[in-house]
Amino acid sequence: MKYLILSAMVFASTTLFAQKNKKTKSPAQDWYQQGMQKSNMGIDLYKAYESLPANAPAKDIIVAVIDGGTDINHPDLKANLWHNPGEIPFNGIDDDHNGYTDDTVGWNFIGGADGKMVEFDNLEKTRILRTLMKKYSEMDASDINDPVKRAEYEHYQKLKTDVEQNRLTYLGLLTAQLEPAIKALDDMRESMGKTNPSREDLEKYNPTDPQNIALKSILLKALEKDGITFEAIYEQIREPYDQVYAMAHYHYNTDYDPRSIVGDNYENASERYYGNNNVAGGDPFHGTHVAGIIGAVRNNGLGVNGVADHVKIMVVRVVPNGDERDKDVANGIRYAVDNGARILNMSFGKSYKWNKAVVDSAVAYAVSKGVLLVHAAGNDNQNNDLDANYPNDSLGNGQFASTWLEIGASAPEKKKLATDFSNYGQHNVDLFSPGYKIYSTAPGTIYKFSDGTSMAAPVASGVAALVWSRYPNLTAEQLKEILMKSSVVNKKKVVLPGTKSTKIRFTRLSVSGGLINADRALKLAAATSGK
């Protein structure tokens, strides 16, 4: 056991050292807003703002951040929040009679009327397995003659193997390495009376346990390196610990079902009026980061500038730590549309569906109301033409959502323009947008870097809001076409996501074959609108 713990310590300290000494220079905090160069493929945002006529009229665009929760008190977001004009804040009355009491800045569809909230949930395949277990757990193949039921039974068996093996793997990793490693570091901090002891503190620490003696030696060597702290090493282990804990105890645990917290009838997909107004949720990092990319207040002297300057952020919480539920996604879309959102940013997705029809209906409703839907393509370096990623623009019967944009994630370097994690698809991903080391708002008053198509989508949403604010006469279909046609097409070969050296033409990774560009989008919008 102690050797496993020591290996975790060595991994954390050496990984941090490697990060601090990378030969490749980290991009600037605003790299993605800069101009396009071979080593820095930004979106030409500065050029776009410089090209705007002075004192040109602009209209605020409401963008719904349909996500996992947003810190509405962040000083770089507060001024750009949407406020429900028909609601008197916190008077306990549904003043505008829309079915959501005190929805002053948005709504939380994964909370209960008593104020409680869902923080963790299963993966969708775990929920599907739990349902199938009720039908097939006491049966075997010889009991089933109907071919449809036999196929479902075989699906059940595959899911059962998948979910159970994953849970055992994560539980084993927790008990063998991560939990003992965290406990050992916690014991050391408690003994020294400091959460972030220095190298000098560690030198004075005299453990008697052989394991802690060995840990002290490893940590002393690690702390010799510039920029490495005890706290950083602790966080380097704490982050995977939290992720693995969630996988083992929530994501892959069929015995865990938090839906009773919400208090709805989950089987009734048409039910709409449930939840509460706690739009932050338990961990609002993801939504806060997304919101800042779109609409952090520009030029206020604080940490970052959002892409769009005339924007109001509506907060709609539907995503837990785990997979979102289709019923909540559908209701989040309808709520946002009914309350005036013109753009829906959806930085979430999953590989299994529960009730795609209810989501498709909501998407079709948004399309009918002239709303642009911007969705993250996913971070599994998969081809979305071959493997499904939900939700998507397919509405069934050969129909597709005409105002849906599926966004892949790009990196700064032209030769590695598609990030190694991004999903792609010549038919099912529309265009790429920066999604690597994106600096944005984080809960509290701080700012952090984050990667993902989750970050690429709000860059695209921000550009869409910027264009629409200047040319509000454009339809959502026209806006989508403008963003696609004005993208910068890269005909060169790039490294295929998920591989180390396989090359593929960037044009084969999306419908447009291009990278979003704010300046070109504004120019094309001007020509299209006739203004």
Specify the amino acid at residue 410. S
* Cα 318 to Cα 314: distance, rounded to the nearest angstrom: 13
Give the strand pairing for 40-41 and 36-37. Answer: antiparallel
* Cα 416 to Cα 308: distance, rounded to the nearest angstrom: 27
DSSP symbols for 457-487: HHHHHHHHHHHHHH-TTS-HHHHHHHHHHTS
Exposure b/e, 290-313, CB count within 10 A at least 16 = b: bbbbbbbbbeeebbbbbbbbbbbb
Number of alpha carbons in the 13 Å side-chain half-sphere of residue 21: 9
Give me the residue spans of the domains in the chain: 2-10+128-251, 34-122+271-529
CB-count exposure of residue 267 (10 Å: 0-12, 13-18, 19+): exposed
pTM tops 0.85, yes or no: yes
CA dihedral 152, 153, 154, 155 (to 10 degrees): 50
Q: What's the pLDDT tens digit per position in 22-74?
A: 444 678 999 999 999 989 999 999 999 999 988 889 999 999 999 999 999 99
Each residue's pLDDT expressed in tens, for the chain with a length of 531 residues? 444 554 555 455 555 545 544 444 678 999 999 999 989 999 999 999 999 988 889 999 999 999 999 999 999 999 999 999 999 999 999 999 999 999 999 999 999 999 999 999 999 999 999 999 999 998 888 888 899 999 999 999 999 999 999 999 999 999 998 998 899 899 999 999 999 999 999 999 998 888 788 888 889 988 888 788 999 889 989 999 999 999 999 999 999 999 999 999 999 999 999 999 999 999 999 999 999 999 999 999 999 999 999 999 999 999 999 999 999 999 999 999 999 999 999 999 999 999 999 999 999 999 999 999 999 999 999 999 999 999 999 999 999 999 999 999 999 999 999 999 999 999 999 999 999 999 999 999 999 999 999 999 999 999 999 999 999 999 999 999 999 999 999 999 999 999 999 999 999 999 999 999 999 999 999 999 876
Nearest-5° Cα angle at 196, 190 to 202: 70
Phi, psi angle pair for 52, to nearest 5°: -70, 135
Domain 34-122+271-529 homologous superfamily, CATH:
Peptidase S8/S53 domain (3.40.50.200)
Number of alpha carbons in the 13 Å side-chain half-sphere of residue 256: 19
Q: What's the pLDDT tens digit per position in 426-485?
A: 999 999 999 999 999 999 999 999 999 999 999 999 999 999 999 999 999 999 999 999
* Cα 354 to Cα 348: distance, rounded to the nearest angstrom: 15
* Cα 462 to Cα 288: distance, rounded to the nearest angstrom: 14
